[in-house]
Amino acid sequence: MDKHFISIHVNGKTETLKVEPWVSLLDALRDQLNLTGTKKGCDHGQCGACTVLADGKRINACLTFAIMYDKANITTIEGFGTKQLHPLQQAFLDHDAFQCGYCTPGQICSAAGMLQEGHAHTKDDIRELMSGNLCRCGAYTNIVKAIVDVKEGKYGSI
């Protein structure tokens, strides 16, 4: 089958990729652009390790084809905190909201998207809206604390 050329804007930079129709956005980011911060966890959309922002909305990059995002704006963890740490990154550090760190890129991308959505009003809302991002180390309590502090503006505006 023929490969297709797509143009995506990743972390503020336009990239042209040549992909087969079945290549996931996750594999295109990791294999062609060497953006390995986005993790391959379950490869079935169940763990959230591959979460990125597509046009500001959080998506599981393993469940979508790269060709679906021709002309889209994609933000991966590498697009956060390029000159200084993003408020979520700093809050995760301050609250020890990670242990092994494998899920952290997806957690941060998901948290940023969730906060932009504007539906998280309580800790229970945050827990529910972040439930698609698993942490095998069990850092959930600290992840919620970090997100609450960012939501309340303790780290500036995002």
Domains belonging to the chain, first-starting first, are 4-79 (3.10.20.30), 87-151 (1.10.150.120)
Q: Is this model's pTM higher than 0.85 or not?
A: yes
- Cβ density class 123-152: b for 16+ within 10 Å, e for less: eeebeebbebbbbeeebbebbbbbbbbbbe
Using the predicted structure, report yes or no on whether residue 156 has a pLDDT greater than 70. yes
Residue 89: exposed, middle, or buried by beta-carbon count in 10 A (0-12, 13-18, 19+)?
A: buried
The percent of residues above 90 in pLDDT, for the chain, comes to: 95
pLDDT of residue 1: 65
Average pLDDT of span 148-157: 95
Q: 55-106 pLDDT, tens per residue?
A: 999 999 999 999 999 999 999 999 999 899 999 999 999 999 999 999 999 9
Using the predicted structure, report yes or no on whether residue 158 has a pLDDT greater than 90. no
